Every structure is written in structure tokens, then in C-alpha cells.
Amino acid sequence: MRGAVLYAPGDIRVEDREDPKIIEPTDAILRLSATCVCGSDLWPYRGIEAVDGRSPMGHEYAGIVQEVGSQVTNIRPGQFVIGSFFASDNTCELCQAGYQSSCINKEPIGAGGAQAESLRVPLADGTLVATPDLPPDDLVPSLLAASDVLGTGWFGAVAAEAGPGRTVAVVGDGAVGLLAVLAASQLGAERIIALSRHAPRQQLAVTFGATDIVAERGDAGVAKIKDLTNGLGAHSVVEAVGTQESMLQAIRSTRPGGHVGYVGVAHGVELPGTELFFSHVHLHGGPAPVRRFLPELIELIWTRRIDPGKVFDLTLPLEQAAEGYQAMDERRAVKTLLRP
Ligand SMILES: [Zn+2]
């Protein structure tokens, strides 16, 4: 099969890779209908995260089950399925509590490289969720979005306790931040402030439900959010970047008693203890337990109540993955969908 491999920073190639096979009796093999490039793939692509030799890339996937292991009972060949970036048993105590991305048996999907024609998914019964039927082609981008970027934005909004009567601010205008806006809107937030300096992204944020746009960042962004909230700060702030600046901006934009949901993968973030102590904010986040939300998200997409696939503003054949990475790196594209 063909698959994307990162050789070194900036050097992504699509090449022949070994076809995935059933290894454990709980595995499934998928033929992928669509995959994509994640903002977190840009960390190793930019050399900010070390590249350890030749790395297969990708952890977002949707496709058709080709084969299942002997112990798989819920999932069967021919179904269209979506899973998340961690395989999980969905039965252990942590999964049952809604934290499948901390499952005691979790396995990273990225190790197998989902930017490819086929993918092995461990713990198939716990990990994969099937759609009611084979989806029409125009729903595939939105279903793919549920695999990570929508589920992650959704968790950010849930962790920030977005809901009726609350003002939600979203720090970060990448695909996760934009879909956190959509999630906050679906969860009934009264007011949604999107932080973005880029006109096309501001427009998408408004499409997804943002009521206010703030172009300032850092301390100026914090001041603007305070201006919009009677000097108090937002009730709920989603952090969807993962840098020191964005994390502090999120904490400082939150009112005492409010909640920060942080879903940007942290790189070099160190929190000042004294400031945190006096801030009175709740912090919750981490790798999103997307599996918790998948059934609900698939239902919302299937019935066309949400259209998260709009975040894909570039669609390329898998063979052109390198251009897909470059476009996102240069911020020419919000998110690249790859068609195997
Ligand atoms: Zn588990």
C-alpha cells in the first residue's frame, strides 16, 4: 500500500509500505476512505518535536472494515467506521468514566500511520464506531473530522464547561479552535468569542457560531476579552494551541471560578504557581477522549445538524501529502484532507 512517511523536518514522502495485517485477535483492518493532516503533525514536520528516523504519519481516519480478528464481535467487514487517535478497550474503569484516551490498554494509532491506504486498528470493538449505513460521499469529510479535530474541539468546550448562559472564548484559530466554536454553539453557549487575525478563519468561526471576533493576542487579547465581559473575563476558555503564550492568555482571560479547557498539545508550557493560585480558575484538558463523544457526533453529522467538514479547505490525493503539509505549515490551508 501507499503511505506518508516523515524522513526529517520538512521531508514528507508517500511511498510503498507493508500492508497492515491482523496481529491480535482484537484487531481490524480498514481500507481508508479519507485521512488528513493534523496540526500536531506539524510539530515534528517543523522539527520542534524530534523526528526519530523514518516515521509513518497520521492518526485521523475513516473507512471501510476489510477484515477483523477472531475475537471482534461488534464490528464487521463492510461497515463504515470512525475511530480516534488512541485505540481503547472501552471497558476498563477509566474508559467507563469517559477517559478512553487514558485507557489502561490504550495504543497510539499514529504508530501505524493513518495517512495511508489501509490501517490496522487494535481493540476494534472498543475503538471503532460504525455509521448507520454507508455514508454519501459528501458526509465523509465531516465524519473524518469526528475522528480527532471535532472530537478534540468538543472536549475542549466540555472541559471548559461551555453551556447556556456562559460566555466562551476560544484561543487558537486552527481547525480544533474553530470546531471548539461549533461545539460551544451546540452546547448552548450564550456568547462565543473567537480569537483570530485571519479573515477566512474569522469567517469560518462566524459560520460555526462565533458572536464576537477578537484580533488581538497576548496581553492585548486578554484586555479585549475583559472589555467584552464587564472586566471579569469569560466563564469558559478553550485553549487550542499549546504554547506558553496561548496557555497564559487562556488562564488570564478566564474569570475567577471559570474553566479553562486546554486541548492544544503542550510544548514548553510552564505555569507560574503563584499566579495560578490567585486566579481561581479550573483547569482541565489533555488528549481528548474522542471515543466518549463519537456516537453523539456521528448522529449530529448523519442527520446534517452540524457540518464540521467545512474545516477542510484543501483536498488532495494522498500522493500529494507533501503539498498538504506545506500548505498548512505556511497557513495557506486550515486543514488538508487526503484521499487515498
Ligand atoms: Zn479502557
Q: Report the percentage of the chain scoring pLDDT > 70.
A: 100
- Report the separation in Å between the CA atom of 26 and the middle of ligand 1, taken as the mean of its atom positions: 14
CB 47 within 8 A of CB 33: no
Q: Please list the alpha-helical segments (H only) found in the chain.
A: 42-45, 93-96, 124-127, 140-146, 149-159, 175-186, 199-208, 218-228, 244-252, 273-279, 290-302, 321-329
- Report the separation in Å between the CA atom of 99 and the middle of ligand 1, taken as the mean of its atom positions: 8
- Report the separation in Å between the CA atom of 104 and the middle of ligand 1, taken as the mean of its atom positions: 5
- Report the separation in Å between the CA atom of 117 and the middle of ligand 1, taken as the mean of its atom positions: 27
Local structure of 102: helix, strand or coil:
helix
pTM of the entire predicted model: 0.96
- Report the separation in Å between the CA atom of 181 and the middle of ligand 1, taken as the mean of its atom positions: 29
pLDDT at 201: 95
pLDDT tens track for 12-29: 999 999 999 999 999 999
- Report the separation in Å between the CA atom of 123 and the middle of ligand 1, taken as the mean of its atom positions: 10
CB 72 within 8 A of CB 125: yes
CB 127 within 8 A of CB 291: yes
pLDDT at 51: 81
pLDDT at 242: 94
Return d(Cα 250, Cα 268) in angstroms, integer: 16
User: What residues have their beta carbon closer than 5 A to ion ligand 1?
Assistant: 88-89, 92, 95, 103
Return d(Cα 340, Cα 338) in angstroms, integer: 6
Summarize the confidence of residues 288-292 as an average pLDDT. 98
Which residues, 6+ apart, have CB-to-CB distance to 264 below 8 Å?
Answer: 172, 176, 239, 240, 241, 242, 243, 246, 247
Is a pLDDT exceeding 90 seen at residue 101? Answer: yes
Summarize the confidence of residues 257-267 as an average pLDDT. 95
Is a pLDDT exceeding 80 seen at residue 52? Answer: no
Residues in the chain: 340
pLDDT tens track for 58-69: 999 999 999 999
pLDDT tens track for 165-224: 999 999 999 999 999 999 999 999 999 999 999 999 999 999 999 999 999 999 999 999
- Report the separation in Å between the CA atom of 96 and the middle of ligand 1, taken as the mean of its atom positions: 7
pLDDT at 223: 98
- Report the separation in Å between the CA atom of 97 and the middle of ligand 1, taken as the mean of its atom positions: 9
CB 239 within 8 A of CB 156: yes
- Report the separation in Å between the CA atom of 16 and the middle of ligand 1, taken as the mean of its atom positions: 33
CB 99 within 8 A of CB 46: no
- Report the separation in Å between the CA atom of 321 and the middle of ligand 1, taken as the mean of its atom positions: 33
* Residue with the three cell numbers 470546531: 179
Say which DSSP state 116 is in: B
- Report the separation in Å between the CA atom of 101 and the middle of ligand 1, taken as the mean of its atom positions: 8
- Report the separation in Å between the CA atom of 171 and the middle of ligand 1, taken as the mean of its atom positions: 30
Q: Report the percentage of the chain scoring pLDDT > 90.
A: 95
Which residues, 6+ apart, have CB-to-CB distance to 239 below 8 Å?
Answer: 156, 171, 172, 246, 247, 249, 250, 260, 261, 262, 263, 264, 285
Dihedral of the alpha carbons of 114, 204, 290, 161, in degrees to the nearest 10: 160
- Report the separation in Å between the CA atom of 132 and the middle of ligand 1, taken as the mean of its atom positions: 24
- Report the separation in Å between the CA atom of 198 and the middle of ligand 1, taken as the mean of its atom positions: 40
Q: Which of the four pLDDT bands, split at 50, 70 and 90, describes residue 110?
A: confident
Is a pLDDT exceeding 90 seen at residue 248? Answer: yes
CB 205 within 8 A of CB 179: no
pLDDT tens track for 148-170: 999 999 999 999 999 999 999 99
- Report the separation in Å between the CA atom of 299 and the middle of ligand 1, taken as the mean of its atom positions: 23
CB 65 within 8 A of CB 78: yes
pLDDT at 50: 82
Q: Please count the other Cβ atoms lying within 10 Å of the Cβ belonging to residue 19.
A: 12
- Render 225-259 in DSSP notation, one character per residue: HHHHTTTS-EEEEEE-S-SHHHHHHHHHTEEEEEE
> What mean pLDDT, rounded, does the chain reach?
97
- Report the separation in Å between the CA atom of 291 and the middle of ligand 1, taken as the mean of its atom positions: 11
Return d(Cα 54, Cα 112) in angstroms, integer: 12
- Report the separation in Å between the CA atom of 287 and the middle of ligand 1, taken as the mean of its atom positions: 14
Q: Which of 47-51, 97-101, 259-263 has the lowest mean pLDDT?
A: 47-51
